[in-house]
Amino acid sequence: MKTDGHEIHRYRWWTILLTGVFCLPGGLNFLGESVRAERPAPMDASAAPHVSEVSTSSLRLAIIDLTQTFGARYPGGPEYLRRLDVLEQKLDKSEPGSAEELKAVNEDLASLEREALLANPLLNFGKLLLVKRSNNSPRLGLPQNWQSNSSLPKTGYDNAIMVLSAMSPEGRLTTLYQPEDGRFVGDVDLHFGAEQMLFSMPDEKDHWQVFEIGGNGSGLRQLTGEQPDVDSYDACYLPDGKIFFT
């Protein structure tokens, strides 16, 4: 059957019109019945099963792995699993809507998680070197993965190289070095003997440079800068005593 251009256009317009009408909130009304999908009633939040803030399955796998990996060096493994079993049973038996009971179980789970994971023998050391940086720092001091330090603002940071003594929530933070004028400090690389470290920081001429400082916060010195128009950063020590940097 042949159709002319006018008929084709009429067909298209009718298709668009009907599609638009069916998409209206009320739909079409045939014989007094509205063509509309019924929405399911919202679920009562109090009837929902209790959900732990701690992933109990992940915690169980972690405890089992630590127990199997370290054996006698991780002696608390069986007791951690027993405590986890008890807390999971409390979650299963708790009444829907009992917020106080759920809060208490979650607090116990968080405490168990912290205790079991910090008992990892690999964390059995006295101090941890870290960079503490305020959330208000520009872009958190982190370049995009296709960028480098040269794309970051050089000032405006509240940051410092710090030492955490005792690997626990009660550990004490002490400042090893904090730059002046809100300059960036980061890219820390600790020497093999832990006697000194490298880090990146803008110099007084507003170029990125590599600095070195002693493990006790003394002996700060700038290692790069022979080429005044070149940025240098993100350095690391090599086994032969040389320093590699960008």
Give the Cα separation of 215 and 23 in Å (integer).
69
Label residue 4 by pLDDT band (50, 70, 90): low
Label residue 133 by pLDDT band (50, 70, 90): very high
- Show contacts of 60-65: CB within 8 Å, 24+ apart: 60/84, 62/116, 62/117, 63/116
Q: What is the pLDDT of residue 32?
A: 41
Residue 34 φ/ψ, nearest 5 degrees: -80, 135
Q: What is the pLDDT of residue 227?
A: 86
Tokens 């009907």 belong to residue: 18
How far is the CA of 29 from the CAs of 20, 23, 34, 39, in angstroms?
A: 14, 13, 5, 18
Label residue 84 by pLDDT band (50, 70, 90): very high
Amino acid at 234: D
